């Protein structure tokens, strides 16, 4: 995209459709309004919103006045919301009314709160009662408040960089604050983002992942510059996505593996009903993708799938095309041009090809970052000018990266390292398993032993011995869990990541070990 090009196309959310230019103009009025609330350069505007047009407007407005826009996972409790707002010292909070009703008191007195009425399509999708959708008397109501402000007429202030909330291994939020991109690199960075996502002028896309996830918000902002059509479904559904792809001739998507799992679980007759031939570039990441899922999607949609690997701190490091993956099943690709990837052992030494260690990467075009209020945490992940990812993986002889698991999820049983991701992928190949999570629980003999929590595909759960026999055909015997639990639904966030800590915690709460 040429520098300075104005947005084109439209954004659609439920029954509301705005041109991208209208979204931009409303964002300019919002910039004026936020400034009137005392939000200035380097301040934070927090967002507690589901996928909706005000989310995009707030991202644009905050950037215009040099402020950070900080999305918050809307599943948070009142205490978690209060902690997040205090951590980033939010000057303003923009929130859907139903998400604030009952926990609005979590906002500090110095944080101005803008209440956006919960749209009809979101209320219907999530079963939100009518009386919870509207702001209370005396509140700053989104549209009414926005109408009182003229468009921002001053020059755009220098963008401050990005600030992203991410939960650490303790479950407490961390705020990753990245320095601004140097003006001389701004154009190159924008082009890099478009290349990453395969974006092109005239693309048509739907944002089906949660915008509070950093990759989804970056993707949405990049798509807004390029897309003829950008759709914001109220909530993901597998068949609903197929309908949008067919009726709106979607060309680009950004998915997470759980969405692909749900798509493949649709009956064959339902899948065959929809035309997906308009798809050109579908990228996925944020969580490991089981091989059986990846191969199934490529067989169905064709070689349009691309997988990325990255972290909030180090950004996107690799990308693998369908062809890359088919030639080397399980790979997440080679380092993107300019990025340096190294696999280091616990003593910081480089490992040879196929040696398993921590994945570390250079920042390249990305500016440096720190954790707000915790410089020591930033120093702890520095590795000779690189950033440690917290993931275990290896490079093959040609430099293709394979990710084994998170360091904190690795199970050490009887002195042997076991990676749950591999076991989960094998379980998902069983016809009776819709989803699963594998983790370590205390063992007096081995230190840890494996537990599998399974979400059955049908009404009847598979027999545990059948699952174990299924695994023994595919994996070494020490990788087959001896303990199983069945649940109708696993706890997960909207990016598709299962909340393993919630599953694991009850087993460890009476031990001295911290998980």
| Tens of pLDDT, residues 276-330 | 999 999 999 877 788 888 999 999 999 999 999 988 888 889 999 999 999 999 9
Same domain, 379 and 427: no
Cα dihedral value 50, 56, 61, 63, nearest 10 = 100
Same domain, 227 and 164: no
Extended beta strands in 97-220, E state: 112-116, 140-141, 163-167, 173-178, 204-206
Q: Per the domain annotation, does 458 fall within a domain?
A: yes
CATH of the domain at 434: 3.30.300.30
Work out how many domains the chain is built from and give that number.
Answer: 3
Residue where a domain terminates, one of 406, 427, 462 = 406
Lowest mean pLDDT among 2-6, 59-63, 413-417: 2-6
Lowest mean pLDDT among 70-79, 270-279, 348-357: 70-79
Residue 494 pLDDT more than 80?
no
Q: Per the domain annotation, does 159 fall within a domain?
A: yes
CATH of the domain at 152: 3.40.50.12780
Same domain, 172 and 137: yes
Residue where a domain terminates, one of 183, 202, 218 = 183
- Residue 146 CA to residue 348 CA, distance in Å, equals 53
Widest distance between CA atoms in the chain: 69
Kindly report, residue by residue over 94-130, the tens digit of the pLDDT.
Answer: 999 999 887 767 788 889 999 999 999 999 999 998 8
Q: What is the pLDDT of residue 168?
A: 46
Q: Per the domain annotation, does 448 fall within a domain?
A: yes
429: helix, strand or coil: coil
Q: Per the domain annotation, does 4 fall within a domain?
A: no
188: helix, strand or coil: helix
**477 CB-contact burial (10 Å; exposed 0-12 / middle 13-18 / buried 19+):** exposed
Kindly report, residue by residue over 252-290, the tens digit of the pLDDT.
Answer: 999 988 889 889 989 999 999 999 999 999 999 877 788
Same domain, 219 and 160: no
Same domain, 29 and 158: yes
Boundaries of domain holding 147: 10-183
Cα dihedral value 119, 101, 372, 176, nearest 10 = -30
Q: At a CB cut-off of 8 Å and minimum separation 6, what does 290 contact?
A: 257, 261, 424, 425, 428, 429
- Residue 161 CA to residue 309 CA, distance in Å, equals 21
- Residue 336 CA to residue 351 CA, distance in Å, equals 20
- Residue 317 CA to residue 393 CA, distance in Å, equals 13
Same domain, 447 and 308: no
Q: Per the domain annotation, does 57 fall within a domain?
A: yes
Q: Cα-flanking dihedrals φ and ψ of residue 399, to 5°? A: 90, 10
Q: Per the domain annotation, does 341 fall within a domain?
A: yes
Same domain, 253 and 104: no
Tell me the mean pLDDT in the region 364-380: 86
Extended beta strands in 4-53, E state: 10-13, 16-19, 44-48
Residue 446 pLDDT more than 80?
no
- Residue 322 CA to residue 383 CA, distance in Å, equals 32
Q: Which two tokens stand for residue 28?
A: 């300019």
Q: How far apart are the first and last CA of the chain?
A: 46
Q: Cα-flanking dihedrals φ and ψ of residue 171, to 5°? A: 90, -10
**220 CB-contact burial (10 Å; exposed 0-12 / middle 13-18 / buried 19+):** buried
Q: Cα-flanking dihedrals φ and ψ of residue 170, to 5°? A: -85, -15
% pLDDT > 90, the chain: 52
- Looking up tokens 């705005």, which residue turns up? 18
Same domain, 352 and 451: no
- Looking up tokens 């303990």, which residue turns up? 483
Orientation of helix 53-64 relative to helix 20-36, angle to 10°: 60
Same domain, 439 and 502: yes
Kindly report, residue by residue over 173-215, the tens digit of the pLDDT.
Answer: 789 998 888 777 778 888 888 888 999 999 999 999 999 988 8
The distance of Cα 325 from the centroid of its chain, to the nearest Å, equals 22
Residue where a domain terminates, one of 406, 423, 444 = 406
Same domain, 126 and 61: yes
CA Rg value for the chain: 23
Q: Per the domain annotation, does 486 fall within a domain?
A: yes
**What's the sign of the alpha-carbon dihedral 508, 509, 510, 511?**
positive
Same domain, 295 and 420: no
- Residue 80 CA to residue 94 CA, distance in Å, equals 16
Extended beta strands in 345-400, E state: 357-361, 369-371, 382-383, 386-395
434, containing H or E segment: strand 433-443
Of 312, 317, 246, 257, whose CA–CA distance to 283 is shortest?
257
Q: Per the domain annotation, does 291 fall within a domain?
A: yes
Same domain, 225 and 342: yes
On average, the pLDDT of the chain sits at: 88
């Amino acid at each position: 995209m040429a520098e300075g090009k104005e947005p084109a196309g439209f954004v659609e959310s439920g029954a509301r459709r705005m041109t991208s230019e209208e979204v931009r103009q409303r964002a300019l009025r919002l910039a004026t309004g936020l400034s009137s609330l005392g939000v200035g350069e380097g301040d934070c505007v927090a967002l507690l919103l589901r996928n909706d047009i005000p989310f995009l407007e707030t991202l644009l407005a905050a950037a215009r006045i040099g402020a950070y826009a900080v999305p918050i996972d809307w599943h948070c409790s009142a205490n978690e919301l209060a902690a997040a707002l205090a951590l980033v010292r939010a000057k303003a909070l923009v929130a859907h009314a139903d998400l604030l009703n009952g926990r609005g008191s979590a906002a500090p007195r110095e944080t101005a709160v803008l209440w956006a009425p919960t749209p009809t399509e979101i209320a219907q999708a999530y079963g939100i009662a009518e009386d919870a959708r509207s702001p209370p008397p005396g509140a700053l109501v989104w549209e009414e408040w926005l109408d009182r402000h003229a468009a921002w007429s001053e020059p755009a202030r220098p963008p401050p960089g990005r600030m992203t909330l991410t939960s650490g291994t303790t479950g407490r939020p961390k705020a990753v604050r990245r320095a601004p991109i140097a003006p001389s690199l701004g154009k190159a960075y924008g082009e890099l983002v478009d290349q990453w996502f395969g974006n092109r002028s005239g693309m048509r896309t739907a944002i089906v992942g949660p915008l509070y996830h950093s990759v989804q918000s970056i993707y949405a902002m990049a798509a807004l510059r390029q897309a003829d059509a950008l759709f914001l479904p109220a909530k993901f559904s597998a068949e609903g996505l197929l309908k949008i792809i067919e009726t709106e001739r979607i060309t680009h998507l950004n998915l997470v593996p759980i969405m692909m799992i749900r798509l493949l679980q649709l009956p064959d007759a339902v899948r065959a009903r929809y035309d997906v031939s308009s798809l050109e570039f579908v990228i996925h990441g944020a969580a490991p993708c089981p091989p059986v899922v990846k191969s199934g999607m490529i067989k169905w949609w064709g070689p349009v799938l691309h997988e990325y690997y990255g972290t909030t701190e180090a950004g996107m490091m690799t990308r693998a095309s369908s062809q890359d993956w088919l030639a080397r099943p399980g790979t997440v690709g080679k380092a993107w041009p300019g990025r340096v990837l190294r696999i280091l052992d616990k003593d910081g030494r480089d490992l040879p090809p196929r040696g398993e260690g921590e994945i570390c990467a250079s920042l390249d075009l990305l500016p440096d970052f720190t954790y707000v209020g915790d410089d020591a945490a930033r120093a702890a992940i520095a590795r000779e000018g690189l950033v440690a990812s917290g993931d275990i993986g290896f490079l093959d002889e040609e430099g293709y990266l394979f990710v084994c698991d998170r360091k904190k999820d690795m199970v050490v049983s009887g002195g042997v390292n076991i990676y749950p991701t591999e076991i989960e992928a094998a379980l998902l190949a069983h016809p009776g398993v819709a989803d699963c999570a594998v983790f370590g629980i205390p063992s007096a003999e081995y230190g840890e032993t494996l537990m599998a929590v399974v979400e059955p595909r049908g009404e009847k759960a598979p027999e545990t011995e059948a699952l174990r026999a299924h695994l023994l055909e595919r994996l070494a015997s020490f990788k087959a869990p001896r303990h199983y639990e069945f649940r109708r639904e696993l706890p997960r966030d909207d990016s598709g990541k299962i909340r393993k800590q919630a599953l694991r915690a009850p087993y460890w709460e009476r031990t001295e070990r911290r998980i």
